[in-house]
């Protein structure tokens, strides 16, 4: 065996060539990885990073794994994403913007792109379209959720990828992690929270810091939106506040569409 060859339980472990890309985003998810200084070198040792604009000037079109941050908001981004998809063996939607559209998709709710462009950019000519997740344009092999991503979770997922182990996202809601951390329920503190319906995996990051969950990780399996609406009503939190949170990151798009749908019940006959 070659000197210095990394092994896991005696089996040689490859270092896949990996590239990081950003579309319409704040690039905060990539910064999360660089900010994790305590384990950064060990994490980078798992991969052969060939492109990472936040961390290096070199770049290459030869890679196996592509981490793509950000949503699609322009036509040129569609072309760029398709090129990345063609070159990559494995494409990872990296963060909430890539997975659901993220905060960028808030402009979609106005259903008037011309008004949005004028309100934000004035008379300046800017090309922009409705913000959409990567999966609307290419096949996505793996999604890493969060705004921003949780670096500990990313390290665990990447380790499993390199070792050829399966990657399984939690199916249960953030509430379970929150209770395990012995937090006071934010509803009892008068704070709205999507913890009962949002997919876990963040270790209840926001509730741990006394902030209600905004659902950046999208819905947990079998998320009970009707039940959450009743809970919010019980604590005096308006339905509009619930919808505002559900719409924030785009993960609950289909559920919000259902909740906003006008009632089809026939009016009661008078007399």
In tens digits, the chain (271 residues) has pLDDT values of 344 566 666 667 789 999 999 999 999 999 998 887 888 888 888 899 999 999 899 999 999 999 999 999 999 999 999 999 999 999 999 999 999 999 999 999 898 999 999 999 998 888 899 999 999 999 999 999 999 999 999 999 999 998 888 999 999 999 999 999 999 999 999 999 999 999 999 999 999 999 999 999 999 999 999 999 999 999 999 999 999 999 999 999 988 888 877 644 444 544 4
- With respect to residue 265, please indicate whether it lies within any of the assigned structural domains: no
Q: Is 156 left (phi over 0), alpha (psi -120 to 50) or beta?
A: alpha
CATH number at residue 145: 3.40.50.700
Residue pair 68/93 in contact (Cβ under 8 Å)? The answer is yes
Residue 168: helix, strand or coil by DSSP?
A: coil
User: Both 145 and 11 in a single domain?
Assistant: yes
User: Both 141 and 223 in a single domain?
Assistant: no
User: Both 212 and 238 in a single domain?
Assistant: yes
> Distance (Å, rounded) from C-alpha 27 to C-alpha 235?
36
- With respect to residue 33, please indicate whether it lies within any of the assigned structural domains: yes
User: Both 104 and 191 in a single domain?
Assistant: no
User: Both 184 and 148 in a single domain?
Assistant: no
Residue pair 59/51 in contact (Cβ under 8 Å)? The answer is yes
- With respect to residue 168, please indicate whether it lies within any of the assigned structural domains: no
Give which of 107, 130, 133 is closest to 120, Cα–Cα: 107
User: Both 112 and 140 in a single domain?
Assistant: yes
User: Both 231 and 191 in a single domain?
Assistant: yes
- From 163, 194, 213, the end of a domain falls on 163
User: Both 59 and 144 in a single domain?
Assistant: yes
User: Both 121 and 178 in a single domain?
Assistant: no
Catalogue the E-assigned strands of the chain: 7-8, 11-12, 17-22, 48-52, 65-69, 90-94, 142-144
pTM, full prediction: 0.89
User: Both 19 and 144 in a single domain?
Assistant: yes
Q: Can you give the C-alpha Rg of the chain in angstroms?
A: 21
- With respect to residue 169, please indicate whether it lies within any of the assigned structural domains: no
User: Both 113 and 210 in a single domain?
Assistant: no
- Residue 254: count of CB within 10 angstroms of its CB: 9
Q: Within 13 Å, how many C-alpha atoms sit on residue 210's CB side?
A: 2
Domains: count for the chain = 2
User: Both 182 and 237 in a single domain?
Assistant: yes
Q: Is 269 left (phi over 0), alpha (psi -120 to 50) or beta?
A: beta
């Amino acid at each position: 065996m070659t000197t210095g060859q990394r092994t896991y339980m005696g089996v040689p472990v490859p270092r896949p060539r990996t590239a990081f890309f950003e579309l319409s985003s704040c690039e905060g998810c990539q910064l999360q990885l660089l900010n994790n200084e305590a384990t950064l070198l060990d994490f980078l040792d798992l991969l052969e990073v060939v492109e990472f604009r936040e961390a290096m000037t070199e770049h290459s079109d030869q890679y196996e794994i592509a981490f793509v941050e950000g949503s699609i908001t322009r036509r040129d981004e569609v072309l760029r994403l398709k090129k990345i998809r063609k070159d990559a063996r494995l494409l990872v939607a990296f963060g909430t913007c890539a997975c659901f559209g993220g905060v960028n998709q808030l402009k979609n709710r106005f259903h008037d792109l011309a008004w949005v462009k004028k309100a934000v950019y004035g008379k300046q000519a800017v090309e922009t379209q409705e913000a959409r997740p990567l999966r609307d344009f290419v096949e996505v092999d793996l999604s890493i959720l969060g705004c921003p991503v949780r670096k500990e979770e990313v390290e665990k997922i990447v380790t499993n990828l390199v070792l050829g182990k399966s990657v399984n996202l939690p199916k249960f809601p953030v509430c379970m992690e929150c209770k395990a951390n012995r937090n006071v329920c934010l509803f009892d503190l008068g704070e709205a929270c999507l913890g009962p319906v949002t997919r876990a995996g963040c270790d209840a990051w926001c509730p741990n810091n006394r902030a209600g969950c905004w659902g950046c990780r999208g819905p947990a399996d079998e998320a009970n939106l009707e039940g959450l609406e009743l809970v919010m009503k019980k604590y005096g939190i308006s339905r509009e506040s619930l919808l505002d949170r559900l719409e924030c990151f785009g993960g609950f798009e289909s559920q919000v569409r259902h909740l906003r749908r006008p009632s089809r019940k026939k009016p009661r006959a008078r007399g």
